[in-house]
Amino acid sequence: MSFLTARKLKFQISEKAGEVSALLLRPEGARALLVFAHGAGAGMQHKFMEEVSQKLASRAIATLRYQFLYMEKGGKRPDSEALLTETVRAAVAVAKKHAGDLPLFAGGKSMGGRMTSLAAARAPLDSVRGLVFFGFPLHAPGKASAARGEHLTRVAAPMLFLQGSRDSLADLKLLKPLCSCLGKRAELFVIDGGDHSVHMLKSSGRSDEEVLEQVAEKTAAWIFRVSE
- Residue-wise pLDDT for 57-72, tens only, equals 999 999 999 999 999 9
Do 139 and 147 contact (CB within 8 A), yes or no? yes
pLDDT bin (cut points 50, 70, 90) of residue 141 is confident
Beta bridge partners of 7: 24
Do 159 and 152 contact (CB within 8 A), yes or no? yes
Beta bridge partners of 96: none
Q: What is each CA distance from 195 to 23, 32, 171, 220, in whole angstroms?
A: 26, 28, 11, 21
3-state DSSP assignment of residue 105? strand
How remote is the C-alpha of 189 from its chain's centroid?
Answer: 14
Domains, the chain, with CATH or none: 7-227 (3.40.50.1820)
> What pLDDT was estimated at residue 217?
97
What is the pTM (predicted TM-score) of this model?
0.95
Residues above pLDDT 70, as percent of the chain: 99
- Residue-wise pLDDT for 9-58, tens only, equals 999 999 999 999 999 999 999 999 999 999 999 999 999 999 999 999 99
> What pLDDT was estimated at residue 142?
82
pLDDT bin (cut points 50, 70, 90) of residue 197 is confident
- Residue-wise pLDDT for 82-137, tens only, equals 999 999 999 999 999 999 999 999 999 999 999 999 999 999 999 999 999 999 99
217's CB contacts (< 8 A; 6+ apart) are 59
Amino acid at 219: T
pLDDT of 1 over the 60 cut? no
